Amino acid sequence: MKRWLRAAFTLDLRSLAAARIGAGLVMMGDALVRAREFRLFHTELGILPRLGQFEMNPDLGFPNLHNLSDLPEYQGLLLLLHAFLGLLLALGFRTRWTTVLCWYSQHCLMTSNFLVNNGGDAVLCCHLFWAMFLPWGTYASLDSLAAPKDVPRPTSIFSAGSVALVSQVLLLYWVSVWHKMEPTWLSGNAVYYALQSDLYSRPTRSLLLPHRSLLTALTYLTLVWEVVGTLLLIAPWPRLRWLGLLPYSFMHLNFGYFLRLGIFAFSPQLNFLALIPSTAWSRWPDFPRLRRWGQRLNQRFSPGPLWSGRLSLEVSAAIGSLVLYSYMQGIGNKNLRNYNNPLIPDSLDWVANWTGLNQRWAVFVNLPGLMDGWVLVEGRLSDGSVVDLFQERDPFSWAKPVEVSEKHTHFRWPTPLVVISGDPQLPGWFLQSLVWNWNDAHPQRKVVSARFFLMQEPTRADYQDSPPTTTLVREWHAP
């Protein structure tokens, strides 16, 4: 049993290197994609300005560099720095400290505008946090290229850090199943509702939607797989582990194929990369030219010796406590309407806020209760024409945009739209930011007044049609 447990929680360092490179690339890609809606998501002219952030989330207290200023230049610099840190992480330059900075940057980015967060961001943040306690720069890194060739390097690690990272993977799926113990999933309807959700579903849903029994089977298969398949992920036998890794990876890619989830299709893959069994790396290539180039580069920056990954007893105990905290947080947060976790006292909420270990893996639960529909922002312009300020449809049209999710300029829009439409304060900032955005792009056709409409088209059981209802959320008039 002891051997089995040790094998289950041991990570191959070459697999960790693959995960590190993946994490760096995901960070860079994310920064690039965020730049597309940079103004609306990250600046003072956006949907949640800095003052609004303080007002909406006053208890956070996390020392966030993003909150020092929301000037576009400053926020742009931080986003650029985020991408650069991702590059350094992928290259494995001074990996240990780079990892710390990457985690901090990721956590800062997430807390700077909580409206636009996606489950994939949280997965990445947790992954980076635990990776701070792992020597994932031992292979395929600039650090490793600088190390003397004759010094033997370990190929695997078993430590509090590896236990924590593997536990995080288990926690992600088991807590997710725990949250899924609700009528939509238990009745086999969850995939049906998820694919019917206009805010997320992609046109490819038409491949699955007509097959009702397949949707029911996929719902139950997901539930069973997230329990049983997760055990396969930590199987000590390589072939069995592959049987867990490949379907899991396929499952997340499929999520991304049928639903517009952005980073959520990719960041969980980092966990699977880290869990690749050692047998996959039986032939670890040596690139002499690359090594020489790395050594030359390292002579200039003197990275220092490779970190062995050894942790002191105190640090290991602290990691163990955080793993326990994470489980209690994941299990105790089941009641989505009540943020009070019965398993953790309020006085310890700061731990999750400061570490980014938010383990609320309620992915696609209570789907019939979620907002389903689309948003229209009717803007009346100075030249008398009417346009849609959100979809940028000129002229304005009441017709349903098809497909709704694909018409959003960013995969991150659904979450803010759901939150904004249900909040008394946020619609004002949302409208104002869209007006500024339009006026800057079209100085000859300024917005005179704007109206924010919520078109709700809730999904009904058994494919029954539900005509959309129109709700006027907020109006804006030029001063």
CB of 221 to another protein, least distance (A): 20
Q: Draw the binding track, 190-209, toward another protein (x: CB under 8 A; -: no contact).
A: -------------------x
Q: What is the DSSP secondary-structure string of 11-40? A: EEHHHHHHHHHHHHHHHHHHHHHHGGGHHH
Pairing of strands 469-477, 156-157: unpaired
CB of 464 to another protein, least distance (A): 5
CB of 190 to another protein, least distance (A): 17
- For residues 177 and 222, give the distance between their C-alpha atoms in angstroms, rounded to a whole number: 9
CB of 459 to another protein, least distance (A): 11
CB 453 within 8 A of CB 377: yes
User: Residues touching another protein: how many (CB under 8 A)?
Assistant: 10
Q: How far is CA 313 from CA 160, 168, 240, 266, in A?
A: 9, 20, 33, 34
Residue 210 or 422 with smaller CB distance to another protein: 210
Backbone angles phi, psi at 19, to 5 degrees: -65, -40
3-state helix, strand, coil in the chain (%, to 5): 60, 10, 35
CB of 230 to another protein, least distance (A): 32
- For residues 433 and 468, give the distance between their C-alpha atoms in angstroms, rounded to a whole number: 26
Q: Draw the binding track, 289-328, toward another protein (x: CB under 8 A; -: no contact).
A: ----------------------------------------
Residue 152 or 467 with smaller CB distance to another protein: 467
CB 173 within 8 A of CB 226: yes
Residue 73 or 465 with smaller CB distance to another protein: 465
In the block, residue with structure tokens 């089995």: 4
Residue 267 or 459 with smaller CB distance to another protein: 459
Name which of 274, 278, 201 is nearest 238 in CA terms: 278
Residue 272 or 374 with smaller CB distance to another protein: 374
CB of 208 to another protein, least distance (A): 10
Q: Is 210 in the site for another protein (CB under 8 A)?
A: yes
Residue 400 or 445 with smaller CB distance to another protein: 400
Q: Is 212 in the site for another protein (CB under 8 A)?
A: yes
Positions 446 through 465 that interact with another protein (CB under 8 A): 462-465
Query: Binding another protein by CB under 8 A: which of 285, 424, 443, 467?
Result: 467
Residues in a beta bridge with 373? 456
Residue 211 or 477 with smaller CB distance to another protein: 211
Positions 216 through 245 that interact with another protein (CB under 8 A): none
Cβ contacts of 290 within 8 Å, gap of 6 or more: 145
CB of 191 to another protein, least distance (A): 14
Residue 166 or 195 with smaller CB distance to another protein: 195
Query: What's the N-to-C CA distance of the chain in angstroms?
Result: 72
- For residues 306 and 310, give the distance between their C-alpha atoms in angstroms, rounded to a whole number: 11
Residue 136 or 192 with smaller CB distance to another protein: 192
- For residues 462 and 370, give the distance between their C-alpha atoms in angstroms, rounded to a whole number: 17
CB of 463 to another protein, least distance (A): 5
Residue 151 or 399 with smaller CB distance to another protein: 399
Residues in a beta bridge with 455? 374, 470
CB of 213 to another protein, least distance (A): 10
Q: Is 58 in the site for another protein (CB under 8 A)?
A: no
CB of 467 to another protein, least distance (A): 4
470 CB-contact burial (10 Å; exposed 0-12 / middle 13-18 / buried 19+):
exposed
Cβ contacts of 77 within 8 Å, gap of 6 or more: none
Q: Is 422 in the site for another protein (CB under 8 A)?
A: no
CB 462 within 8 A of CB 187: no
Q: Draw the binding track, 335-364, toward another protein (x: CB under 8 A; -: no contact).
A: ------------------------------
Backbone angles phi, psi at 283, to 5 degrees: -115, 90
- List of residues contacting another protein (CB under 8 A): 209-212, 462-467
